[in-house]
Chains A and B, each alone.
Chain A
Amino acid sequence: MTNSRDRVLGAVRDALLRAELPHSSADRPFYAVPPEATGAEDPIEQFAQALVALAGEVHHAHSLATISDTIIGIARASGASSYLSWNEDAIECAGLVDTLTSRGLHRMAYDLPFDQHGRDERIRVLAQVGIGVTGADAALADSGAIVLASGPGRGRLASLLPPVHIAVVKRDRIFPSLPALLVARPDLVGAGSNLVAIAGPSRTADIEMTLTHGVHGPKHVHVILIP
């Protein structure tokens, strides 16, 4: 007896004998990033402009003190007293958690339990938190997107659940485009269970093509560029 896998694959193989497919004979690889397209004059400026055009906000900071000043400023403005975040070493900003705690902003315990009930309870609590803080593995100059890989201490919800997302991003991680990034860092796909590129705040235009932010994901996205 054949199983459904063999039947579907068998049907595909049979069909391929009859398929009429134009343009299918080309050799791989199909595309290389043209060298001219890889370097903007000023990728930092290009990235910042693209993100601002998407209603994101860009900040510059040079030290732990200025990073935490920026985060505290955003937290005050949005009335948040706690935050959801990646681990400090994943953000690559030693001392950040202590500094924020000393200034009255508390980090929420994060990891979801594996049992159903515990998981639901934790999610209910986390859903109330006002801001999320993460690092980023890369940023894309052409689109203003930041790229985040999940992993231990690098949860997905920090950039998803709270209405405000703050990402601390190293300036030298700005790549020209997504193809350029994936050529340079093919290891990123599959490094964790999730790789996400985030281009500005959540948006929809479903009702009468009217652009509205924050329908499901964060309504505000801040990127703090650091050396």
Chain B
Amino acid sequence: MSESTSRGAAAKAHAEADVAGAAFHTRIDTALGDGKLRQALSMTTGRLATGRATAFAALPYAEALRVAAQRIRAHTIAHLDRYLVEFTTNAERAGCRIHWAETAADAARMVVEIARASGVSLAVKSKSMLSEEIELNSALESAGIRVVETDLGEFVVQLAGDRPSHIIAPIVHRRREDVAALFREKLGATDEEVATIPAMTAFARKTLRDQFVGAGMGVSGVNLAVADTGSLCLVTNEGNGRLTTTLPRVHVALLGLERLVPTSADLSVVLQLLARSATGQAMPVYTNVLTGPRRRGSAADAGGGEPDGPDQLHIVIVDNGRTRLLGSELAEILYCVRCGACLNVCPVYRQIGGHAYGGVYPGPVGSVVMPGLEGLGAWSELPQASSLCGACRDVCPVRIDLPRLLLKLRAQAVRQSLGPAWLRLGMRIFAAVATRPAVYRHVGNLVGRIGAAVAPDGWLTRLPGPLAAWTQSRDFPAPAAKSFTQSWRPKRGAERTRR
């Protein structure tokens, strides 16, 4: 196995950053214990969230746009079969080749086959969460094809054998010294080349330019595809998305099958919101719309074709659990355009960061998407990692009701008996007590008296048995000495007399 053959294995070896193998609460503890991580998280998410709020305040008709964007996505998803057919027909007419992948493994295999067919030995990639999802890098490398991440953050992630921890800011968990050390160690950068952030950026530009110039294939994600023109829209700030889709002679675009809009007017509505939600920019630096590969001149217009662009454009349309999501009560999550805004405002994400979630997609969106794509089995704890405060719903550009979906998942977990046995037993006892008024009153009085006896100051600092987890990092308010009914009775009596 070469050094970077399997990103997964390399990541495991990277003990500091990768704790995905550990239990969720252990990952949370690790994250919470990492002061530098929490400082970086609070700075980055705070800035992104403020940027978003400022950008929306300056946007006229922001709410009308959000409602429009939500309707566009809802309508598209409700007629997804029709728009997929329309999109692929038009993309093929423009000269694209379409590949349909049912699973992650199918998708990765298809990209490898495309690369082999064109004799590609080096591929450049612009940031794509879907490529993380299908573990494309390890598939390409196992086939002997070198692949280089070109988004600056992703490039650092790849050098470190790490995983991205934020949809938009992949190295929110790393400081400049970490990046400098990596560039020195892995790429032989001089002290001068890593002295400042601009110097490191210039060094990355130089290093990656060589890769771009030599690459036979570019792999990208797709932000949104336009059905009525067969176009792909990709946004980036760095310009690596444009280089990836222009310089190599083969371009492969990975498209999640839900990421469509009907028309370019619809696209422009969503684009009004996407960058503002992600980073607070009115527009990303590059909004790149691709319709087919480079156009060759015909004999009729005397060789007047386009001077550059890829000779081939392949679109790999990926299901990998999306139809499972679509056919469920969680289908609304498919409106998502992966802007990352819900991460930046989530009180849980802001404390624990992306790695603690353990999946490709972190934060509120990830807590729905991961169990939605793969089933609750391995992900049953994620929907609990939310205070249900609704901040995510309030910032979502397509107004997804994330708390509603998280509650659905919690209910599913209970139905599938995925919670701990003691909790299920406890809930059953509670149900038995709470549905019998006389018993409830009796038990209530008893609990109140016990509470008053063990916690005279009103707080329980240590709960027994499995409940101890609650008091590990916070105190529990003791039950009131007098129950609500006990306090209510005399008051109501008094009111009646007054009247």
Contacts and interface: CB of A to CB of B under 8 A. Distances in A.
Contacts of A19: 77-78, 326-328, 331
Interface in A1-34: 3-5, 7-9, 11-26, 28-31, 34
B323 A8 contact: yes
B106 A179 contact: no
Interface stretch (B25-33, B80-88, B434-442, B478-486): B80-88
B306 A154 contact: yes
A189 B229 contact: yes
B282 A16 contact: no
Nearest to B293: A193
A64 interface: no
A205 to B, nearest CB: 8
A75 interface: no
A116 B85 CA distance: 33
Nearest to B78: A24
Nearest to A199: B283
A222 to B, nearest CB: 15
Interface string A81-125: 000000000000000000000000000001110101001100110
A81 to B, nearest CB: 20
B238 A204 contact: yes
Interface string A28-49: 1111001011000000000000
B161 interface: no
A60 interface: no
A207 B200 contact: yes
Interface in A136-152: 140, 142-145, 150-152
Interface string B48-86: 000000000000110011001011101101101100110
Contacts of A31: 64-65, 68, 72, 265-266, 269
A-side interface mostly: loop
A173 interface: no
A130 interface: no
Given A4-B100, A7-B102, A207 B197 contact: yes
Given A8-B102, A20-B328, A20-B331, A143 B78 contact: no
B257 A12 contact: yes
A110 B307 contact: yes
B280 to A, nearest CB: 11
B152 A15 contact: no
Contact of A201 (B205, B216, B285, B328): B285
A192 interface: yes
B245 to A, nearest CB: 8
Contacts of A4: 99-102, 106
B156 to A, nearest CB: 7
B282 A199 contact: yes
Residue in B85, B285, B290, B330 with the greatest tally of chain A CB atoms within 10 Å: B285
A177 B288 contact: no
Contacts of A190: 94, 229-231, 291
B237 A204 contact: yes
B352 interface: no
Contacts of B311: 114
A194 B282 contact: no
Contacts of A157: 246-247, 307-308
Contacts of B304: 152-153
B290 A11 contact: no
B154 to A, nearest CB: 9
Contact of A15 (B65, B205, B327): B327
Nearest to A28: B75
Contacts of A54: 285
Given A111-B308, A152-B304, A198-B286, A20 B332 contact: yes
A209 to B, nearest CB: 5
Interface string B314-351: 00010100011011111110000000000000000000
Contacts of A3: 100
A120 B271 CA distance: 34
B387 interface: no
Nearest to B304: A152
